[in-house]
Amino acid sequence: MRLTAIFRNLLLGVFILAAPALCAQQTIDTSPPPGYYTPDWVFANLNLSGLSTGLLQDHGTPFTRLSAFNGDPDSTTVSTPLRCRLVQATLLSATVNANAQVDTAALPAESGSDTFDYQILLYAYHKLKPDAVSQNLISITNNQLVDISGPQDSPYKREFAIAAAPWRKKALTAGQVYAFSPTVATNIPAQFVTGYEINTGQGFTAVAPGSVYTFTASSGSEMDFEARVTLTNGKVLLSRSKMAVVPDIGPVSPIDPVDYCAAEEFTIDLGSTEPAWDDETDRLFVQTSCCDDIIRRPLLIIGGFETPTLFDPDIEDNKVDGHPFFIDNALILCSKG
């Protein structure tokens, strides 16, 4: 059986094992169907205790494709906070021994402040060589991977994953000055890293984790960011990201009240076909700043045309010639021009 066939059938087994967490109140048979295998079964006969990174991609759950974050300067992959979290989750699930060092506290909630973190995830991990079986580096027995004894090349290949992004949840405002602080989560010892650089549009600048740096948001709808890491062996790893940019509309001026007429009041006969009380007609008292006595839309009625609380025969102001009538109030909102 080919190695790829085992991994194709292994993938379903991974998600079958995750099913109980989704339906914890039910009794579910977690055994895989015929032809599918669990990770524990497939890798049970491999000695993974000496794997230096403690991370084996093939053993984990592929929440994202790690090869898309391989640091290739020509890669078109754009890192985002969500994709950084998916890379972290994939690496966490790939843990196979105590050497694994994935920082589970490295990715907090994104900031809304004008000073924010620039998160950089940088990890080395291993994966099985695609020709490990054909080159007799490992064998397959009873749908399990088995070590081959004797001197030979390693069946594992070391890879790198880098995902970096500004840790801010709001868009930038064009022309405004912002500050960021690089934060690095990595399992690569410091002595193997030559340095970190970040490009905010003015070229790469060397940065130190924990220090604060400023930049001015450019015009346009988005802004490009790049994080670059150089290792002591000369390998260069690059991660690209973007942030949305909105134009600066400046302060909003309040409405100047001198542009409006002084509030005036007038009374409108509603022209009822029947009097509201004896021989009196309904009336509407209107306040307007439209400089005339014409009803315009929008007309805001305060209380409604038949609000009982506005009718009180005991109130002297509600009487004309001793007879009470319905009154109501309205406010006309109007702007000049």
Q: Tens of pLDDT along 254-263?
A: 655 545 455 5
Comparing 101 with 264, the larger pLDDT belongs to: 101
Inform me whether the pLDDT recorded for 141 exceeds 70: yes
- CA–CA gap between residue 159 and residue 39 (Å, rounded): 21
Q: Are residues 319 and 303 in the same domain?
A: yes
Q: Are residues 28 and 106 in the same domain?
A: no
**pLDDT tens track for 28-81:** 777 888 888 888 889 999 999 999 999 999 999 999 999 999 999 999 999 999
Final residue of a domain: which of 226, 246, 266?
246
**pTM recorded for the entire structure:** 0.68
Mean pLDDT for the stretch of residues 148-164: 90
Inform me whether the pLDDT recorded for 20 exceeds 50: no
DSSP result, 159-222: EEEEEEEE-BSS-EETT-EEEEEEEEEESS-GGGEEEEEEESSS-EEEE-TT--EEEEPPSSSE
Is position 191 within any domain? yes
Give the torsion sign (CA, 70, 228, 91, 224).
Answer: negative
Q: Are residues 65 and 214 in the same domain?
A: yes
Q: Are residues 89 and 125 in the same domain?
A: yes
**pLDDT tens track for 178-233:** 999 999 999 999 999 999 999 999 999 999 999 999 999 999 899 999 999 999 99
In the numeric block, which tokens belong to residue 82?
């969500």
What are the Cα distances from residue 121, in Å, to 79, 246, 268, 316? 10, 28, 72, 78
Q: Are residues 185 and 277 in the same domain?
A: no
Q: Which residue range forms the structural domain that includes residue 265?
A: 257-332
Q: Are residues 178 and 314 in the same domain?
A: no
Inform me whether the pLDDT recorded for 302 exceeds 60: no
Is position 198 within any domain? yes
Is position 337 within any domain? no
**Mean of per-residue pLDDT scores for the chain:** 80
| pLDDT score of 154 | 92
Is position 252 within any domain? no
Q: Are residues 37 and 54 in the same domain?
A: no
| pLDDT score of 37 | 85
Mean pLDDT for the stretch of residues 148-173: 92
Is position 251 within any domain? no
Q: Are residues 211 and 325 in the same domain?
A: no
Is position 178 within any domain? yes
Q: Are residues 97 and 165 in the same domain?
A: yes
Is position 124 within any domain? yes
Q: Are residues 199 and 240 in the same domain?
A: yes
Inform me whether the pLDDT recorded for 95 exceeds 80: yes
Q: Are residues 35 and 92 in the same domain?
A: no
Domains held by the chain: number: 3
Q: Are residues 289 and 313 in the same domain?
A: yes
